[in-house]
Structure 1
Amino acid sequence: MKVALDCIPCYIKQAINTLAQAGISEDKAREIIHETLPLLPRLDPQGTPAENSTVILRKVNELLGIEDPFERAKKESNQLALELLPQLEEKIRQSPDSLLMSLKISVAGNIIDMGILKEFDVEGSIQEAMVKKFARDDYVSFKQDLKEAREILILGDNSGEIAFDSLLAKQLSQLGLEVTYAVKDRAILNDATLEDAVHVGLTGQIRVISNGSGFLGTILKDCSQEFQQVYTRADLIISKGQANYESLEAQGKEDRRLYFLLRAKCEIVAKSLEVQLGEMVFCRS
């Protein structure tokens, strides 16, 4: 997915949200924003929003002198999600279609996005996911593809959300699939890393690997050889969240293994997906 002019305010918004996590003075925050703005003309107009956002955010972290401004917030979101897991597991057990329910719970967790949203209602998102359908829904074809699949790769997105993804991973494992879950190699916004996977207990359930990259989304050219081998070998790939959609949407037009699972949290992504803002999606590109 290519950048649009409207992506520029979002870069700045993500930078401001990052600065808010650092607890610095408004004067210092303004100084960092002013030092970051000269990067805007040098961003790649042919790149993806995820790539360009990462350039800005790395500069912000560098100027802050903090490797992970979201460290405390990520731990809090992980803990919140863990507290909700027992009731969510019960909803899956009671559902006539446990796999579909686990997909809905997984996408409900996609509301935890501190780069875009200052406030989010996780429990409200879960309740909405229970009753609403996917605005774009390729679940039938996904179930058909599962019959021929052996290995499935889930591309993780945010902290907190990763705990909800563990329920989806469990359902897929129970179907006899070998599940691998990929996280970021280092901190960027509130994206999940190996530390988050350990926190929510995911590493004790399935194989979890780093993608070798610190970019938002999944920028394949920046990923490790180990990850690329897993990516190439997978029979199916579930891509979680907006940044993964932004970075893999073009590839998904050719690669029929890719299924995108997300909420459309910005107008540009919603337009690309041909859905309304805020709607849930589970689809091929």
Structure 2
Amino acid sequence: MLIDKECVGCIINQSVKVANAINASKSLSDELTSTVELMSKEFSHESSPPEIASYVYEKMAQIANKIDLYDELKESSTKKALSFTPILKEKLSNSQNRLLTATKMAVAGNVIDLAAAVEFDLEEELEKIFHTEFADSNFDIFEEKLQNAKTVLVIGDNVGEHIFDYMFVEELKKLYPKAHFSYMVRGCPIINDVTMKEAKEAGFDKLCELVDSGVNTPGFTYDRANKHSRELFDSVDLIISKGMGNYECMSPSHRKNICFLLKVKCSVVANSLKKKIGDIVCKLV
């Protein structure tokens, strides 16, 4: 997806979110916003929103003299997500369709998005997710692809959400024990996206193959990925892509058999998918 005019205002507004997250002084807050506003005049409309965001966040990190702008919020998101795991494990154990339940859990976690134009409450989402139908559903095809896949790559999205991803991959391994599973993370801190640090803390390195993509974008940008990640992306039987940033980077993609799992949180993605803000999507291309 290429950047839309609506994306520009959203990216500028993220400077305000960053300022709030780091408890910036008024002068620092003003500098962050004015800098991003100035940068927005030069945004390339041949780039995806995550590619633009990488430049903006790199500049904001320099101004704030802080490598990980959302480190404290990522910690709190993880703690909040972990507090729901006992309830979700019980839900999963009582489920008559464990794959569907695990998939919806993974999508529910996608509401933890500090860059989204529209924010949702995690507790509220978890209460209703299991009674909500996918607005764009290729779930039956997704299940069929999983049954036949020997190699599966899950591309992670946000911190906090990764806790639900862990439970998702854990269940996939039980359901499809002959398949090899990999979990891919960002190459460096960008917004609240999951990196090797948070993934290792969650235990992904002991659960499955854990892969550092090398990208500095809030979404898997193939051209920015390291060699191993590109080779893995090209060779696996099935890719499970979490969240809007990954959808924006991989829509379109040069390969097939990508299942996009996400919550629609902005009008640009809603228009692309021909869905409404708030819809949950399981789309296989």
Q: Do the two structures share a fold, i.e. TM-score over 0.5?
A: yes
User: How big is the shift at 1:118?
Assistant: 8.2
Q: How does 1:98-113 map to 2 (within 5 A)?
A: 98-113=98-113
User: How big is the shift at 1:147?
Assistant: 2.4
| Structure 1: stretches of 5+ with no match in the other structure | none
Equivalent residue for 1:179? 181
Q: Write the distance in 2 (CA, Å) between the matches of 1:148 and 1:51.
A: 34
Q: Write the distance in 2 (CA, Å) between the matches of 1:152 and 1:58.
A: 31
Report if aligned partners of 1:78, 1:199 keep a CA contact under 8 Å in 2: no
User: How big is the shift at 1:119?
Assistant: 5.6
User: Cα deviation per residue 1:79-137 (whole Å; 9 max; x = unaligned)?
Assistant: 11112112111111111110110010000000001122686421111112111010001
Q: Write the distance in 2 (CA, Å) between the matches of 1:271 and 1:10.
A: 16
Q: Write the distance in 1 (CA, Å) between the matches of 2:54 and 2:93.
A: 39
Does residue 29 of structure 2 align to residue 29 of structure 1?
yes
Report if aligned partners of 2:109, 2:161 keep a CA contact under 8 Å in 1: yes
Identity of aligned residues (%): 28
Q: Which moved more, 1:99-108 or 1:77-86?
A: 77-86
SS in 2 for 1:147: helix
User: Cα deviation per residue 1:256-279 (whole Å; 9 max; x = unaligned)?
Assistant: 210100001001101111111111
User: Cα deviation per residue 1:226-276 (whole Å; 9 max; x = unaligned)?
Assistant: 11111112100011000000010111xx53210100001001101111111
Give the letter for the 1:20 counterpart.
N
Report if aligned partners of 1:14, 1:57 keep a CA contact under 8 Å in 2: no
| Structure 2: stretches of 5+ with no match in the other structure | none
Normalised by the length of structure 1, the TM-score is: 0.95
SS in 2 for 1:154: strand
Q: Write the distance in 2 (CA, Å) between the matches of 1:118 and 1:3.
A: 18
Q: Write the distance in 1 (CA, Å) between the matches of 2:200 and 2:124.
A: 26
User: Cα deviation per residue 1:54-93 (whole Å; 9 max; x = unaligned)?
Assistant: 2111111111110001111101111111121121111111
Q: Write the distance in 2 (CA, Å) between the matches of 1:171 and 1:276.
A: 29
Q: Write the distance in 2 (CA, Å) between the matches of 1:277 and 1:187.
A: 27
SS in 1 for 2:41: helix
SS in 2 for 1:3: coil
User: How big is the shift at 1:140?
Assistant: 0.5
Equivalent residue for 2:228? 226
RMSD: 1.4
